[in-house]
Amino acid sequence: MKISGVDIRPGNIIEYEGGIWRAVKIQHTQPGKGGAYMQVELKNLRDGRKNNVRFRSAETVERVRLDTKDFQFLFAEGDNLVFMDKETYDQTTLPRDLLGDAAAFLQDGMDVVMELYDEEAISVQLPDTIEATIVEADAVVKGQTASSSYKPAVLDNGVRVMVPPHIASGTRIVVDVYEGTYVRRAD
């Protein structure tokens, strides 16, 4: 589906210069002289490159619709991750760097949504939050009474997060996968 360059929104996936790109940030600019344009930060979904492009209103780009399928994470094998299609039970192996920092939050048996373009996996979406156990937390420094004082802690998956002072080692917490931040104590 063709759309005007100024109609691009964050999250849109477009075909540009022979690649598949996701719009990350946009900025509409209307200079005093000349026509308005949309400054778009694009991220290539195949190799992770980033590019800043100006689209004028007269330009059109092809908007791409990705198919989504439910998969389950099975296990990690070196630098590869193995997923299983929940309908056909077919296994798919993907490189760990396709997920970026979120790969550290994968748990055995976790349900994920895979985005496919022409049957090729483009991205994997994890749940927004996961539960993890704190294996190491710094002691609270006496006299640090400011409510905004957080302390560093290490999760069972090796990721470091900042947690409130009352959270101790062995506590299960809920973590935002994409921000890598403490959300709340697990129930």
What pLDDT was estimated at residue 144? 58
Same domain, 118 and 150: no
Residues 118, 45: contact at Cβ < 8 Å? no
Same domain, 163 and 181: yes
Same domain, 81 and 49: no
Same domain, 71 and 110: yes
What pLDDT was estimated at residue 141? 67
Q: What whole-number distance in Å separates Cα of residue 107 and Cα of residue 90?
A: 19
Of the three residues 35, 63, 91, the one that is the final residue of a domain is 63
Same domain, 72 and 59: no
Nearest to 106 by CA among 134, 57, 137, 72: 72
Examine the pLDDT at 69 and tell me if it is beyond 60.
yes
| Residue-averaged pLDDT of the chain | 85
Same domain, 8 and 56: yes
Residue of 141 and 67 predicted with greater confidence? 67
Hey, what long-range contacts does 138-146 have (CB within 8 A, 24 or more apart)? 140/165
Same domain, 83 and 133: no
Same domain, 43 and 17: yes
- Residue 55 belongs to domain with CATH number: 2.30.30.30
Q: What whole-number distance in Å separates Cα of residue 108 and Cα of residue 15?
A: 34
For residue 140, CA distances in Å to 117, 146, 147, 181, 185 come to 49, 12, 13, 19, 17
Of the three residues 109, 125, 141, the one that is the final residue of a domain is 125
- Residue 84 belongs to domain with CATH number: 2.40.50.140
Of the three residues 100, 125, 150, the one that is the final residue of a domain is 125
Q: What is the pLDDT of residues 122-164, one digit of tens each?
A: 878 888 888 999 998 887 666 655 556 788 899 998 889 999 8
pTM above 0.75, yes or no: no
In sequence order, which residues have a C-beta less than 8 Å from that of residue 84 and are 6 or more positions away? 71, 72, 74, 90, 91, 92
Angle at 123 between CA 119 and CA 128, to 5 degrees: 135
What pLDDT was estimated at residue 25? 86
Same domain, 179 and 135: yes
The pLDDT confidence band at residue 49, using thresholds 50, 70 and 90, is: confident
Per-residue pLDDT, averaged over 160-175, amounts to: 89
Same domain, 15 and 46: yes
Residue 135 belongs to domain spanning: 129-185
Per-residue pLDDT, averaged over 36-58, amounts to: 86
Same domain, 113 and 139: no
Q: What whole-number distance in Å separates Cα of residue 43 and Cα of residue 120?
A: 17
Q: What is the pLDDT of residues 97-121, one digit of tens each?
A: 777 778 888 888 999 998 888 888 8
Same domain, 117 and 148: no
Q: What per-residue string of b and e applies to 20-43 under the rule 16 or more CB within 10 Å gives b?
A: bbbbeebeeeeeeeeeebbebbbe
The pLDDT confidence band at residue 56, using thresholds 50, 70 and 90, is: confident
Coil, strand or helix at 6? helix
Per-residue pLDDT, averaged over 34-52, amounts to: 85
Percentage, residues of the chain above pLDDT 70: 95
Number of domains in the chain: 3
